[in-house]
Amino acid sequence: MAQPPALVLNVPETPEDQGSCDEGEMHRSFHQLLQEQSQCVAEEGLELQPRGPGARAPTASESDRQALLGPEGAVVHSTATLRILASMPSRTIGRSRGAIISQYYNRTVRLRRRGSRPQLSHPGRSARPSLRLYDLELDSAALQEEEKRVLLVKELQGLTVAQRDHMLRAMPLSLAEKRCLREETLTPREKRWGQRGRRGRLSCCSRLRYACVLTLLAFNALLLLPLLAFIVGVQAAFPPAGSGPVRAFTGLELLTGGGRFTDTVMYYGYYSNTTLNQPCAPPPDGGQCTPEGGGLPYNMPLAYLFTVGAAFFITCITLVYSMSRSFGESYRVGSTSGAHAITAFCSWDHKVTQKWASRLQHDKIRTHLKELLAEWQLRQGSRGVCGRLRRAALLALVWLLCLGITFGCTVAVYIFSELLVEQSPVSAEREEAQLALPLVVCLLNLGAPYLYRCLAALERHSSPVMEVCVAVCRNLILKMVILGILCYHWLGRRVGALKDQCWENFVGQELYRLMVMDFLFTLLDTFFGELVWRLISEKKLGRGKPEFDIARNVLELIYGQTLTWLGVLFAPLLPAMQIAKLLLLFYVKKMSLMANCQAPHRPWLACHMSTVFVSLLCFPSFLGAAIFLCYAVWQVKPSSVCGPFRTLDTMYEAGKVWVRRLEKAGPRVSWLPWVHRYLVENTFPIYLVSALLLAVIYFNIQVVKGQRKVICLLKDQISNEGEDKIFLINKLHSVYERKERGRVGGAQEAAMPLNLLTDDRDAW
């Protein structure tokens, strides 16, 4: 096929074209674009045929069809203009199937390079799409596209399952294309496992893997592993000498945590305050063992203190990282303009196929729109002065009632704890009486949230998110205040009342009892409370299954994790109990949710829920537990009859004793006392680190502000680019119109002498 000549627009310039908007300059700007597109236009059968002198004038309908309106009206372009516009880079990005396959083929190749895997040979030329070659990708042959697809499948097969799934999810292809690619990349074994998974029969390992995704399991695992390695395991290998007969196991220990469990690695009092060392074999010459002969000594008090501190530090770093990552995923930099349109037109999940899932999706979108409209109405301030006063009075009254309930629960816990302190000392024969305080605390934590829900019905919040936040805040205040009263009871009252006993064991047992009672009350509420409420809602009220209360269940998880962090110093194996508790509650709650509850209509977005959960874990929960433990380490005198710090005034003195021993050990370790003196005891490094931290925070804030400004500038630039396109398209179309008018006018002038000659002949 002969190559058609490139179309050149020769439009003569007139004096009116020499204004500020030079059409000749516009003509030169589009000249190269038209030349590049002429070949593609010819192949598609859309060749721009120049009109000859004898061409007829366009009719009125054709003129209307080719008319180009401005920004105020609708735009209707000619066929050639539409072809050029469709080939513009901004309109082809993400639309070309071949370009997408090429792009992700290059990504998989780079990923395999980083993984040090053998790499397939590259195609003849680079398959990376560019803005200049997107039109070539659009018009590429099917054979080339299929070759790229085969290469992409081979590269995907070389990746791990997680990397492959992540790459497929990120591809801007249709679901049908993704399913085909997934099926082609699966091995026969993976296909068999996939068929089993679709039938709903997952293996035990798969179920355990999905259950271990829970955030709290990771935190407890990070806390438990160093405790097992450096405290529990070492003390179990070198048990202390027994101080009396071993108590018999009665079964009541499972509830009280005392009895047989007291003299085990479960509690603080079992650990020795000596330096553990393996005995050395005597030398052959009959001499004495040297200090190096028995191996390295293991200072149990120092190991106990540093291991707990290091575990808390690792947990703190993990929490801060999780919270920052969660905030980054939930709250993007920039404004939220256009959220209504995005929710209405872009939030539907087209993977949903079942009727109940589509109904749930519909309810979520509707509720989200309701929230956006409620926030907009709140900003508009449509209420009058009297309406605002009535609303404020109602909210104040409900809050006063809720705070009154919280205050009453706090006073009840305080009075009951004081009665227990004044009643009688703790004895092994009356351990079952120690279940009274945990029982009262769990009853209050269970009953008060229901009263809060009844009062919340009076508020009638227009925004579901506001309703949930208020409920979380009230329940959080209740639980944190009660825990504060208990901390005062343990470190303020029990330490003085248990002078000749191991008060650390008592605190560990109290936290053990609270955890066990909380677990039992959660099971009872799940099996009976939710079941009874479902029967009442279905049989009596006719409303169907009740909604799953996510706010209350989230706070229950946070409350249990707080108990674990509070007790890790006095009972090092509490994280193991928490892991077992979380696994059991996961399956119990799952069964109850499927049988007794329905999904909530509130739009609980996963990223926002994770952000709220991690934030509550970090600030009220972990920070409060850290303050409690720091006070116990630095200020409270340890027991003199048990534990690794029995001969010291405070637990923190174990570090000072170790430093004094190092100073006498010799010059080889003299740098360690210097580090302790100038970096630990000196306050200047703390101030320096604090100043650096504040500087980093300030710089990050400024960076975020700069990003916001750049985003605003980019939005303005995008708007200006759109206006520039409209302007240039208008100019291009005006060139077409003037050229057509010039040709039509020339044809009419040429036809006029012939018409005059015909008239003269008729006159003759």
Q: Which of 10-19, 76-85, 92-101, 439-448 has the lowest mean pLDDT?
A: 10-19
Judge whether residue 729 has pLDDT over 60: yes
Contacts of 626 (CB under 8 A, 6+ apart): 312, 316, 565
Predicted local distance difference test score (pLDDT) of residue 614: 82
Half-sphere exposure of 17 (CA within 13 A, CB side): 13
Question: pLDDT by residue (tens digit) across 491-550?
Answer: 988 888 887 889 999 999 999 999 999 999 999 988 888 888 888 888 877 777 887 777
Predicted local distance difference test score (pLDDT) of residue 13: 41
Cα–Cα–Cα angle for 5, 11, 14, nearest 5°? 170
Cα–Cα–Cα angle for 449, 455, 460, nearest 5°? 120
Pair 650, 635: CB distance under 8 Å: yes
Pair 598, 359: CB distance under 8 Å: no
Q: Which two tokens stand for residue 629?
A: 């433990």
Please, is 755 exposed, middle or buried when counting C-beta atoms within 10 Å of its C-beta (0-12, 13-18, 19+)?
exposed
Q: Which two tokens stand for residue 298?
A: 């293991």
List, in sequence order, the alpha helices (H) in 489-573: 495-497, 503-524, 530-535, 550-567
Residue 292's pLDDT band (cuts 50, 70, 90): very low
Across 609-626, average pLDDT = 85
Reference 87, options 135, 128, 133; nearest CA is: 135
Pair 660, 346: CB distance under 8 Å: no
Choice between 670 and 252, residue whose per-residue pLDDT is larger:
252
Contacts of 94 (CB under 8 A, 6+ apart): 100, 172
Judge whether residue 701 has pLDDT over 50: yes
Return mean pLDDT, the chain.
75
Pairwise CA distance, residues 39 & 49, whole Å? 13
Across 317-345, average pLDDT = 71
Q: Which two tokens stand for residue 51?
A: 């009109």
Residue 353's pLDDT band (cuts 50, 70, 90): confident
Across 208-225, average pLDDT = 73
Across 620-626, average pLDDT = 93
One-letter amino acid for residue 192 of the chain:
R
Pairwise CA distance, residues 562 & 315, whole Å? 13
Residue 39's pLDDT band (cuts 50, 70, 90): very low
Please, is 270 exposed, middle or buried when counting C-beta atoms within 10 Å of its C-beta (0-12, 13-18, 19+)?
buried
Q: Which of 122-126, 317-321, 373-377, 693-697 has the lowest mean pLDDT?
A: 122-126
Contacts of 41 (CB under 8 A, 6+ apart): 47, 48, 80, 83
Pair 238, 279: CB distance under 8 Å: no
Question: pLDDT by residue (tens digit) across 136-171?
Answer: 344 445 677 777 778 778 877 777 777 787 777 777
Pairwise CA distance, residues 599 & 613, whole Å? 19
DSSP reduced 3-state for 68: strand
Residue 468's pLDDT band (cuts 50, 70, 90): confident
Q: Which two tokens stand for residue 10?
A: 């020769």
Predicted local distance difference test score (pLDDT) of residue 388: 83
Q: Which two tokens stand for residue 341?
A: 């349109």
Predicted local distance difference test score (pLDDT) of residue 619: 85
Predicted local distance difference test score (pLDDT) of residue 559: 94
Pairwise CA distance, residues 301 & 295, whole Å? 18
Judge whether residue 118 has pLDDT over 50: no
Residue 275 is given by DSSP the state: E
Residue 127's pLDDT band (cuts 50, 70, 90): very low
Percent of the chain with pLDDT over 70: 68
Across 386-399, average pLDDT = 91
Residue with tokens 């396109």, as numbered in its chain: 725
Domain ranges of the chain: 142-190, 209-240+252-276+296-336+395-423+431-649, 683-735
DSSP reduced 3-state for 76: coil
Choice between 39 and 394, residue whose per-residue pLDDT is larger:
394
pTM of the model: 0.68
Range from 183-192, 301-310, 593-602 that averages highest in pLDDT: 301-310
Judge whether residue 212 has pLDDT over 60: no
Choice between 180 and 328, residue whose per-residue pLDDT is larger:
180
Q: Which two tokens stand for residue 614?
A: 């991690």
Give 60's strand partners. Answer: none
Reference 490, options 295, 395, 629; nearest CA is: 629
Pair 9, 27: CB distance under 8 Å: yes
Pairwise CA distance, residues 275 & 292, whole Å? 14
Across 616-630, average pLDDT = 92
Residue 204's pLDDT band (cuts 50, 70, 90): very low
* DSSP class per residue in 634-652: HTSPPPSSSSTTTTSSSTT
List, in sequence order, the alpha helices (H) in 44-126: 60-66, 79-86, 89-92, 97-114
Question: pLDDT by residue (tens digit) across 53-96?
Answer: 444 444 433 443 444 444 444 455 666 666 666 555 545 444 45
Q: Which two tokens stand for residue 340?
A: 């209504």
Cα–Cα–Cα angle for 155, 156, 158, nearest 5°? 70
Judge whether residue 629 has pLDDT over 90: yes
The helix or strand, by DSSP H or E, that contains position 535, with its residue range, turns out to be helix 530-535
- The distance from CA 42 to its chain's CA centroid, rounded to whole angstroms, is 51
One-letter amino acid for residue 316 of the chain:
C
Predicted local distance difference test score (pLDDT) of residue 707: 83
Widest CA span in the chain:
154
Return the HEC string of 565-626: HHHCCCCCCHHHHHHHHHHHHHHHHHHHHHHHCECCCCCCCHHHHHHHHHHHHHHHHHHHHH
Half-sphere exposure of 389 (CA within 13 A, CB side): 3
